[in-house]
Structure 1
Amino acid sequence: MLRHEFHPGKLVAGLFLLLVAVVYAGDAGGAWEAPWFVALPLVMAGLFLAGVAAAIHGIRPRGAGRPGGAKSVKEPRD
């Protein structure tokens, strides 16, 4: 399996959208009553936290072994 870069902002946004889906699925199934406007604060909070997570992830220092990080320069041997 190919490795890919971790994007925590997408993870947080996806979890909050999944939470909205669970809330409305519970409402549709009769488990509880959810007002129609409950999705807006959940989605907005999820997008805000996703932006914070992506910003924190984007400003961290990159190591030498990571893509886009500092590359070590080898000196030529004689």
Structure 2
Amino acid sequence: MRRHEFKPGRLIAGLFLTLTGVIYAGDAGGLWETPWFAVIPLVTGGLCLAAVTGSVAHGIRRRRRRRTAPARDGAGAPG
């Protein structure tokens, strides 16, 4: 089985959207009362946090890949 890259931005987006689903499910089940507009800041905040996390993780991955890549000086190139 091939391993996949860990994408923390997707994890955070999934957690916030799951939390939103739980809030709506609790409201539908009658456990609590949730106004319709209460989850808008939760979803937008979660997506913004996921975007920032994904960008930071991408920058770290790119920097790490650049640091571990072998230097290409043209000596081994066919010519």
Q: TM-score, normalised by structure 1?
A: 0.77
After the TM superposition, which residues 1-78 of structure 1 pair with which residues of structure 2 at under 5 Å, given as runs? 1-60=1-60, 61-63=63-65, 69-71=68-70
Count how many residue pairs are aligned between Structure 1 and Structure 2: 70
Q: More helix by proportion, 1 or 2?
A: 2
Q: Which runs of 5+ in 1 are unaligned?
A: none
Give the structure-2-normalised TM-score. Answer: 0.77
Q: Distance in 2 between matches of 1:14 and 1:63?
A: 27
Shift of 1:27: 0.5
Report the aligned-residue RMSD: 2.0
5+ residue gaps, structure 2:
none
- Greater length-normalized contact order (CA 8 Å, ≥ 6 residues apart): 2
State the alpha-carbon separation in 1 of the partners of residues 41 and 28 from structure 2.
19
% identical equivalent positions: 53
- Structure 2: how far apart are the matches of 1:55 and 1:42? 20
